Chains A and B, each alone.
Chain A
């Protein structure tokens, strides 16, 4: 009798424990319902000190379709312990779940570590309230994966997302050749992150930056040096090679920060094809562009091909000069080496006593 009673107690305890562990959907709904009591009203908003209106309207559908579909309000706003909350909830801290080795099953990444080192992360650390946190780029309730076209950080949308803060740069970029190409839906064209990187964004004066003066050429050549990408658009890849061989390219390779890199002439966010009259490399604008470093630059700077490859016939007179020196060098050196070889041959023969 005693044994049976004990058995029943143990079974009941196990069943009870099992039933209690997973948070039932019913419970989540309760939490959501509590929040939407206030936040579910469309007119629920707040006028901030600076006169801006902050919309506080959130419904049960706000998370629908996002990667956090199955989460509830307090999963992220975990500092709310009573409803209605008296304090303004703190900004959501994504690293609460998104760290390597987390138990939540959140995508495991150390991307946030790179973020803390980035120009944005450092601005936050310095106390700049305007600097972006995760949610400023990835969105708050409607977070989607980057490869999803609707995501704020998708290739098509990321420029606009960055443009929320970097509005002037966004305006320049939107009409540049890269911005236009992205708007057309060309997948290969770079948006902001294509050049600046994603989490590891640094200021362009930081040597770690992908757009640091001595890294620009390498960054551009990732696409512009690839025949498989450029051939799709009928763009030549020889620009990369000719730049590397030019004095500008060599000096940049040896660490000069003042020498011209791709962006110095072609622009950064406002890159346009040379035929565009607004382009910094349009023949009419070349004197001004070159004049940034070479004071007194005049239309002569634009006479002749810019990216010149002396090994190719279309380099014109430079090709013939290069060819002349090539054959002069080969001819002279062959004659000199021949003379030296004969001298050595004669010496060897005389040394051996053969006459």
Chain B
């Protein structure tokens, strides 16, 4: 019996009871007067019941909304279905070290490139003046150097690291993917290109960091050990290092703020960002959408393993 039917029945019963009670009360009165009183009572009861009804439907509506919201949230975060580990703990740690160091380096370095910018003085004074901020910059630099060394060791000695490094090497397919992706944006191609573990977008991000780290750490080391450098090299070598450090800093910062932030934060699929950098997991929905070739490979490997198990 549905809720509405139940409600209808109870309403009928109630009406009858009310009528009976009212008739008993109004039995001795003249019919016109009795009818008047009955009508009044009926109206009052109806109003009461309608109010209850409104409250009930509102509660139902809220519950329904909550359920939908939850569903949307789940859909957005792709919590339904299986999840796969995209970035292992080691890789996540590297990323955290890198972004902390880059944030430190940018907020202590950019004010030196743009001293007249309105926030520059704030970011220098945040550390208690230029002498401290240059010290903090060097701490950031050491973190970045650590990250670079860690990543190189990881890329050589870890199985996951070796696999990822190989998969990150630019391939002719990336160029084809880029062309198809642009055609897809323009509506010329029906389908998005099928990406493997790393799309050309991610590969660009990765190699930009590589290039940036080499230039920044190299020129930064020159600037840090200026006395030693000048023992062996003329002053213009230091000037070149200074120019490179300053220019590449701007390029790297812009690339992060524009490209990386768009792809992982401001892009409507991701806004305001995912927690993948924290838990490293990707949902089935997302991996099918973003990295279909990797998903196919994963499934093929799983099928093969299952077949091996059953053969035994």
- Residues on A close to B: CB < 8 A? 244, 247, 250-251, 253-256, 258-259, 294-298, 300-306, 308, 310, 315-318, 321-322, 325-326, 328-329, 332-333, 336-337, 339-340, 342-343, 345-347, 349, 354-355
- Please measure, in the bound complex, the distance between the C-alpha atom of A339 and the C-alpha atom of B182, giving whole angstroms: 8
Of the candidates A254, A329, A333, A343, the one whose C-beta lies within 8 Å of that of B115 is: A254
- Residues on B close to A: CB < 8 A? 111-112, 115, 121, 124, 129-131, 133-134, 182, 184-187, 226-227, 230-236, 239-240, 242-244, 247-248, 250-251, 254-255, 258-259, 262, 267-268
Given contacts A256-B131, A345-B185, A346-B186, whether A336 and B258 have CB atoms under 8 Å apart is yes
Shortest beta-carbon distance, A50 to chain B, in Å?
Answer: 48
- Please measure, in the bound complex, the distance between the C-alpha atom of A300 and the C-alpha atom of B232, giving whole angstroms: 8
When the two chains form their complex, are residues A308 and B247 in contact, meaning their CB atoms are under 8 A apart?
A: no
**Taking CB as reference atom, which chain A residue is nearest B134?**
A251
When the two chains form their complex, are residues A329 and B250 in contact, meaning their CB atoms are under 8 A apart?
A: yes
When the two chains form their complex, are residues A340 and B258 in contact, meaning their CB atoms are under 8 A apart?
A: yes
When the two chains form their complex, are residues B231 and A300 in contact, meaning their CB atoms are under 8 A apart?
A: yes
When the two chains form their complex, are residues A250 and B236 in contact, meaning their CB atoms are under 8 A apart?
A: no
- A258, A339, A340 pick with most chain B CB within 10 angstroms: A339
When the two chains form their complex, are residues A325 and B258 in contact, meaning their CB atoms are under 8 A apart?
A: no
Contacts of A347 in B (CB 8 A): 268
How many A-B residue contacts, CB cutoff 8 Å? 110
- 10 closest A-B pairs by beta carbon, nearest first, are A303-B234, A346-B185, A325-B247, A304-B236, A254-B130, A342-B185, A304-B235, A329-B251, A256-B130, A336-B259
Contacts of A244 in B (CB 8 A): 115
- Please measure, in the bound complex, the distance between the C-alpha atom of A349 and the C-alpha atom of B187, giving whole angstroms: 8
- Please measure, in the bound complex, the distance between the C-alpha atom of A79 and the C-alpha atom of B250, giving whole angstroms: 72
Of the candidates B131, B231, B240, the one whose C-beta lies within 8 Å of that of A318 is: B240
- Please measure, in the bound complex, the distance between the C-alpha atom of A244 and the C-alpha atom of B234, giving whole angstroms: 22
Given contacts A254-B124, A304-B236, A325-B243, whether A333 and B258 have CB atoms under 8 Å apart is yes
**Taking CB as reference atom, which chain A residue is nearest B131?**
A256
Of the candidates B233, B243, B254, B259, the one whose C-beta lies within 8 Å of that of A300 is: B233
When the two chains form their complex, are residues A294 and B230 in contact, meaning their CB atoms are under 8 A apart?
A: yes
When the two chains form their complex, are residues B230 and A322 in contact, meaning their CB atoms are under 8 A apart?
A: no
Further pairs besides A304-B236, A333-B258, A346-B186: 10, Cβ < 8 Å:
A254-B115, A300-B232, A303-B236, A321-B243, A321-B244, A322-B247, A325-B251, A328-B251, A343-B262, A345-B185
